[in-house]
Structure 1
Amino acid sequence: MVRLDLGDVVLRRMQEKDIEAVKALIKEGCEGTENRLILHLLTRPLALLMLATLSSILRCVLHSFIMALVIPVFLLIIYLKLTIPRSVGILGSSRPYWDYVGSSYHADTEPDLPNPLSNRAKLITNQEKSRRRKKAKEKEKEKTNEREQVDEDELKERARVAGEVWVADSDGDIMGCVARDGWSRDGVCRICRLVVQSWYRREGLGRLLVQGLESKSKQNGIRRVYAHVPFPSRVGEAFFRRLGYRLQGETAGTEGEEEDEDYEEPQKGWLGFPLTKVFVKDL
């Protein structure tokens, strides 16, 4: 673990040059999630009943208790391994994959997320900012000549649907990211991914990313934020509870139960079992 000065962290939109780094970061952060989801699905009562029934049938055919027990479980694990990546996709989103190119469209023109700890950081002069922007534009211009041209209107539509990915940047090092789904409803937004590089965990970086996104959402008129946490994830649940989120369905103080129109459907997998827990916070 590395000591990190959160005041030096810039919370900015993911740009096209960051795509590969963000992909690697998400892959690292989600390592083990698939196996935990498979274990969760296998231990549901209905799944256990189906496996027991199938094992009983196979036992009469194979005349081997061990084989009759192992074969159904093995086949189901293979099936889930093949189907979960497509069915889960982005946790909390109905889309099977994230459109990174769409999400990075015109990201360089988007203002940074507010960092409440930035007063502890060294201020970057306007000249330095201009120099960095100019250098980035020159690199982008060079890449444009090499990559395939995409229709401008099509890219705008992709950007609208794709949602946004915000990264925590310190001197060019991508240390974490948070994604906001392109799905929208009046006054509501959804957090799909929150990942922090292993070296910088337990330093408050995840909290900073979420709070920065909440501040921007509130400025844009968002009154409620949903966060989908993989099932099961005690660490993720505890994290969002510390930030003031509550599990959907729990009472919100004096406001009573959730309103029907604000109900957020958890993502579901095999046999309709939920894959995420939905946490909600009113801004």
Structure 2
Amino acid sequence: MAPGHLSVREMREEDKALVLEMLKAGVKDTENRVALHALTRPPALLLLAAASSGLRFVLASCALALLLPVLLAVAAVKLGLRARWGSLPPPGGLGGPWVAVQSSGDVCGVLALAPRASAGGGARVTRLSVSRRHRRQGVGTRLLAFAESRARARAGGLGEPQAQLVVPVAVAAWGVAGMLEGCGYQAQGGWGCMGYTLVREFCKDL
């Protein structure tokens, strides 16, 4: 399916259930890899070992003392990702959420935007997800182009000469990172814990 066969419109009430499922499915695709990446960093391994050693004095089972901290840490990472990216954001100053729709009327992608927190024009992507059966068909690229047009429009409305679009990407989402790099985005910082990046921020001057 070529991107020209897609249109982008604001989400309607009848789209909400499908969009929520799409967002949750998108988080599930990366949460295990993010958890594995986070928990195999040396500081995390040290904390898990210390927690297991402490639990051995409380629990009768050594196996349970080893497994319990790992299970709790994995659950915490997954819940954090689902809370951040697996739900619909409140309406923002840039409208939306937006959905990509096929010519047949099927919703196949979702995008949400927010104004950048820093001064100047531009926007930040807060949600970007494509349904599994529509991936690698230009949907993500089409939504990204729409996001860029909205960021430019906001910058123009503020009288800013240049806009910037920021897209946060989980460190394990290699497909999304590759798409962004192919569209001219560059990784510029991010956030995480214990000195290790879990989410990279890709930026592009428009």
Common fold: TM-score over 0.5:
yes
| Corresponding position: 1:178 with 2:101 | no
Partner of 2:49: 52
1:183-202 alignment runs, 5 A limit: 183-184=116-117, 185-202=119-136
- In the TM superposition, structure 1's runs of 4+ consecutive aligned residues that sit over 6 Å from their partners are none
Q: For structure 1, which runs of at least 5 residues remain unmatched after alignment? A: 104-158, 250-265
TM-superposition CA deviations, 1:141-183 (whole Å, max 9, x none): xxxxxxxxxxxxxxxxxx54x8532211123211112221255
Q: Give secondary structure in 2 for the equivalent of 1:220.
A: helix
Contact 2:52 2:65 in 1 (8 A): yes
1:143-222 alignment runs, 5 A limit: 159-160=92-93, 164-170=96-102, 171-184=104-117, 185-221=119-155
Corresponding letter in the other structure for 1:12: R
Q: For structure 2, which runs of at least 5 residues remain unmatched after alignment? A: 156-161
Measured after TM superposition, the shift of residue 187 of structure 1 is: 1.3
Q: Rate the CA distance shift 1:24–1:181 in 2: closer, same or farther, 3 A.
A: same
1:255-266 alignment runs, 5 A limit: 266=190
Max radius of gyration: which structure?
1
Measured after TM superposition, the shift of residue 75 of structure 1 is: 3.6
Give the TM-score normalised by the residue count of structure 2. 0.79
Q: Rate the CA distance shift 1:64–1:45 in 2: closer, same or farther, 3 A.
A: same
Partner of 1:8: 5
Match of 1:247 among 170, 174, 187: 187
Alignment partners' CA distance in 1, 2:171 and 2:138 = 23
Identity of aligned residues (%): 34
Corresponding letter in the other structure for 1:276: V
| Corresponding position: 1:223 with 2:163 | yes
Q: Rate the CA distance shift 1:67–1:217 in 2: closer, same or farther, 3 A.
A: closer
| Corresponding position: 1:281 with 2:169 | no
Partner of 1:71: 68
Structure number with higher strand proportion? 2
Aligned length: 198
Contact 1:163 1:183 in 2 (8 A): no
Structure number with the bigger relative contact order (C-alpha 8 A, sep ≥ 6) is: 1
Partner of 1:233: 173
Q: Give secondary structure in 2 for the equivalent of 1:275.
A: strand
